[in-house]
Amino acid sequence: MIKKNRIIGFFIVLVTLIAVISTTVFNIASDVKLGLDLQGGVEILYDVEALDDEQEVTPAMLDATVESLRQRVDVLGVSEPSFTIEEPNRVRVQLAGIQNEDDAREILQTTAQLSFRNAEDEVMLSGADLVEGGARQDFDSNTNQPIVTLQLKDGAQFGNITRTILEDNTLQNVLVIWLDYEEGDQYIEEFRKEPFYTGEDRLEGEPKYISAPSIRNVINSAQVQIDGNFSVDEAKQLADLLNAGSLPVDLTEVYTTSVSAQFGVDALNQTLFAGALGILFIFIFMLAIYRFGGVITVITLSLYIYLVVLVFELMNGVLTLPGIAALILGVGMAVDANIITFERMKEELREGKSMIASFESANKNSLSTILDANITTLIAATVLFIYGTSSVKGFATLLIVSIVLSFITTVFISRFLMGLWIKSRTLDKRPHWIGVKKEQIRSLSDTTEEEPKFFGKRIDFVQHRKKYFIASGALIVVGIISMLIAGLNLSIDFTSGTRIEVNTVESISEEAVFDHFEQFDYEPDTVTFAGDNNEVVVIRLSDQLSQEEVAEVRSYFNELYDTEASISTVSPVVGQQLARNAMIAVAIASVFIVIYVTIRFEINFAIAAIIALLHDAFFILAVFSLTQVEFNVTIVAAILTIVGYSINDTIVNFDRIRENVRKKKTIRSYDQLARVVNDSLIQTLVRSINTVVTVIVAAIFLWIFGAPAITNFSFALVIGLFAGMYSSNFIAAQLWLVFRGRNIKEKPIVFVEKKRNDGPQV
């Protein structure tokens, strides 16, 4: 009966998961906000500078500037604009799905023009008459209702203005506050859009003016109070707008990037298709290798993908192309945890243990490995989030979410579902369901120590360690020579300039591209082609085009090919900052990983691990230098991701080495230690291969079938994953052997069990 109840419980859980996921996933997915690279739009980074040398740009001024920009964007009809204040004194604006980028840039960059006018639109005051930053949200002392207080430079002047308005009986007694008043705007017409207007011909829409307070009496004071039926947020918004209008600030574009709507739609479809192929391959691979374990993996991975999308939507996150890649890579991380557990379970079964004993032992021994691997990857993702910008930060966010949820689903959900079957005893006589043949199972009475083998063969990793070191050394030398001679083909992210991407519908020659730009007196630095038929042309210019020049180029290609060009510009200052942040991110991630590995293992493990990580990072740089593939800011994200995955693989090997060393209790010779290292690598080799195969095939699908915007990113992942597997098995473990084995005779490894009240301690 207990047996049946557990199986019934499994199917109840399964049916519930299927019902919940199938009925809600499409609604959740449709609510996820798409980034600029998936729906088109423009992203602009402004330097906020004071026009008056005596003034200083303060946080309050930046807040007010953002509110001014937000008010202007509302006129453009952008559904969910994003504004971010960044150091030092910068504001990043993201407008997804915008139709006319040139108009948007012109409207945003104009200095806020604040004016106070009467009902006939005559100017009474301007922003210059306000005390800078003198507006603030407050509460009425009598009614405790939200109000706005405003500080003027000349109270007598304001008294004369209010007296004039009150004495003129032909006007409404209002002082209309306009932001960016344009010739032809009329208060009377805009007033007809107000909700409280009761006329039969009320107009639709929102009035362009930001407020129209009534004047009830003459005010001879520099301190003015604006009251009305405000909420706290509305009063705060009005105060920010008033402050923005009084600010002597100038906005200078230092970085812009735009993606046409068609490019965004195509990129989304291509990358989703590539991601679906990668996930399908992982499902089939796990089913083929781990049989029933693969079934559990498919269930938990499906739940994992659903939870990632759900949490990301609840976080109000913005999904980008690298973000989709992070989701796919997260699937690989989740698979790795399952592979570690299932491979350990198969080892225990071959030793002759029962199904339930093998399951419990596998769970116990693999937990610390999975935890260490996830934490080290999480360190790299967190550093990437802190130092990344825009889509890179979105990639890091989704990677962090993926790591946390993969740990939850694979450690808790997967083990719970598998445990229902194991504890029901259904699998006791069916080891082949886990991938273990009966003839592979040894008797418990057989106490002979069997050497680990890989598909029946004894591999000696340790014996050839000098060859591995020589091969890696040769690669480093070649890479250094290439870096010195050719360097990296740096994108405008790091060098500054302009990048133009145009869909020419059909393939054109490089000469034709140069002819196009000759009309503008621009000489392209590089011209590259992408797409199935080389119909996508990418042009790089060393000059940073101005707003007017960008509009001219876009208009030209629109008339010629009836397509929107995607144009990005980067100033030298931003390029230098991105390069500096990239180096800082890699350095900080390396330091924290060293600290963590030292705490969890020992300093020799940490040193070996960090050398292997630097080896992998340099391997990617060397390949990009040799191939001259464009190196952009997303490649930094790829390098840090590989750092995480490489340390993941290395931690698995180190954990097995540490476990086997403890089993020996005492190791006094180099040969003994070398044998332990070699046995450990053989034992984890299947896991390493299976993990890399699943992740690398998914990355290859992204590289081949994904959007051109992440082709180089996916290429870096593929190269890095190969390098990570190589360094984990052939560099890191061998280096630890050299470091620790150097003085093994003087300082042998000895583990002593001490009896304590809470049990034996090692």
CA pair distance 342, 331, nearest whole angstrom = 16
Using an 8 Å Cβ cutoff, are 674 and 749 in contact?
Answer: no
- Other C-beta atoms closer than 10 Å to the C-beta of 301 total 23
Q: State yes or no: pLDDT of 448 exceeds 70.
A: no
Grade residue 439 by pLDDT with cuts at 50, 70 and 90. Answer: low
The two three-digit tokens of residue 677, written as one number: 């290292």
Using an 8 Å Cβ cutoff, are 130 and 153 in contact?
Answer: yes
Q: State yes or no: pLDDT of 201 exceeds 50.
A: yes
Using an 8 Å Cβ cutoff, are 723 and 646 in contact?
Answer: yes
> pLDDT at position 650, please?
83
Domain 261-486+575-761 in CATH 1.20.1640.10? The answer is: yes
> pLDDT at position 762, please?
30
Angle, CA of 747, 753 and 757, to the nearest 5°: 140
From residue 334, how far is each of 17, 357, 413 by CA, in Å?
Answer: 18, 24, 12
- Secondary element (H or E) of residue 674: helix 670-705
Closest CA to 500 of 540, 447, 465, 542: 540
pTM: 0.71
Query: 259-289: per-residue pLDDT in tens?
Result: 766 666 777 788 888 888 888 888 898 888 8
- Other C-beta atoms closer than 10 Å to the C-beta of 216 total 9
Grade residue 54 by pLDDT with cuts at 50, 70 and 90. Answer: low
CA pair distance 449, 625, nearest whole angstrom = 49
Using an 8 Å Cβ cutoff, are 175 and 161 in contact?
Answer: yes
Grade residue 760 by pLDDT with cuts at 50, 70 and 90. Answer: very low
**What is the mean predicted confidence (pLDDT) over 16-33?**
86
**What is the mean predicted confidence (pLDDT) over 101-108?**
68
- Other C-beta atoms closer than 10 Å to the C-beta of 369 total 25
Using an 8 Å Cβ cutoff, are 35 and 323 in contact?
Answer: yes
Which residues sit opposite 91 in a β-bridge?
A: 46, 85
Query: 596-620: per-residue pLDDT in tens?
Result: 878 877 788 888 888 888 888 888 8
Q: Tell me the longest C-alpha to C-alpha distance in the chain.
A: 110
Closest CA to 13 of 280, 310, 300: 300
Which residues sit opposite 116 in a β-bridge?
A: 125, 177
Question: Half-sphere exposure of residue 38, counting CA atoms within 13 Å on the CB side?
Answer: 20
Q: Which of 48-52, 144-148, 356-360, 523-527 has the lowest mean pLDDT?
A: 48-52
Token pair 């208060």 in the structure block, residue: 187
Grade residue 19 by pLDDT with cuts at 50, 70 and 90. Answer: very high
| Residue scoring higher pLDDT (73 or 735) | 735
Strand 318-319, strand 33-34: pairing:
parallel
Grade residue 415 by pLDDT with cuts at 50, 70 and 90. Answer: confident
From residue 56, how far is each of 49, 51, 75, 132, 598 by CA, in Å?
Answer: 8, 9, 29, 11, 46
Which residues sit opposite 250 in a β-bridge?
A: 49
> pLDDT at position 761, please?
32
> pLDDT at position 759, please?
35
> pLDDT at position 575, please?
63
> pLDDT at position 584, please?
79
Closest CA to 278 of 614, 629, 718, 602: 718
Using an 8 Å Cβ cutoff, are 325 and 299 in contact?
Answer: no
> pLDDT at position 110, please?
61
Strand 497-503, strand 536-541: pairing:
antiparallel
**What is the mean predicted confidence (pLDDT) over 453-462?**
73
> pLDDT at position 481, please?
93
Q: State yes or no: pLDDT of 297 exceeds 80.
A: yes
**What is the mean predicted confidence (pLDDT) over 438-455?**
64
Q: State yes or no: pLDDT of 79 exceeds 70.
A: no
Q: Which of 110-114, 235-239, 297-301, 381-385 has the lowest mean pLDDT?
A: 110-114
**What is the mean predicted confidence (pLDDT) over 502-515?**
81
Question: Half-sphere exposure of residue 445, counting CA atoms within 13 Å on the CB side?
Answer: 0
> pLDDT at position 477, please?
92
CA pair distance 753, 193, nearest whole angstrom = 82
Concatenated DSSP letters of 680-693? HHHHHHHHHHHHHH
CA pair distance 403, 405, nearest whole angstrom = 6
Residue type, 636: V
| Max mean pLDDT range (26-30, 127-131, 646-650, 752-756) | 26-30
- Backbone Cα Rg of the chain: 32
**What CATH number is given for 114-246 in this structure?**
3.30.1360
> pLDDT at position 31, please?
80
The CATH fold of domain 36-111+252-259: Alpha-Beta Plaits (3.30.70)
> pLDDT at position 482, please?
92
Which residues sit opposite 318 in a β-bridge?
A: 33
225 CB-contact burial (10 Å; exposed 0-12 / middle 13-18 / buried 19+)? middle
Query: 357-412: per-residue pLDDT in tens?
Result: 888 888 887 787 788 777 877 887 888 788 766 566 777 787 888 888 888 888 88
Using an 8 Å Cβ cutoff, are 605 and 654 in contact?
Answer: yes
**What CATH number is given for 497-570 in this structure?**
3.30.70.330
Give the three-class secondary structure for 530: strand
**What is the mean predicted confidence (pLDDT) over 339-359?**
81
Token pair 């991701």 in the structure block, residue: 641
The two three-digit tokens of residue 704, written as one number: 């081949």
CA pair distance 415, 340, nearest whole angstrom = 12
> pLDDT at position 755, please?
45
| Residue scoring higher pLDDT (188 or 54) | 188
| Helix-strand-coil split of the chain, %, nearest 5 | 60, 15, 25
Strand 566-570, strand 497-503: pairing:
antiparallel
Domain spans, the chain: 36-111+252-259, 114-246, 261-486+575-761, 497-570
Grade residue 478 by pLDDT with cuts at 50, 70 and 90. Answer: very high
CA pair distance 203, 184, nearest whole angstrom = 17
Question: Same CATH topology for 114-246 and 261-486+575-761?
Answer: no
Instruction: Kindly report the average pLDDT of the chain as a whole number.
Output: 79
CA pair distance 157, 175, nearest whole angstrom = 14
Query: 641-698: per-residue pLDDT in tens?
Result: 777 777 777 888 888 888 888 887 778 788 888 888 888 888 888 877 887 788 888 8
Using an 8 Å Cβ cutoff, are 728 and 636 in contact?
Answer: no
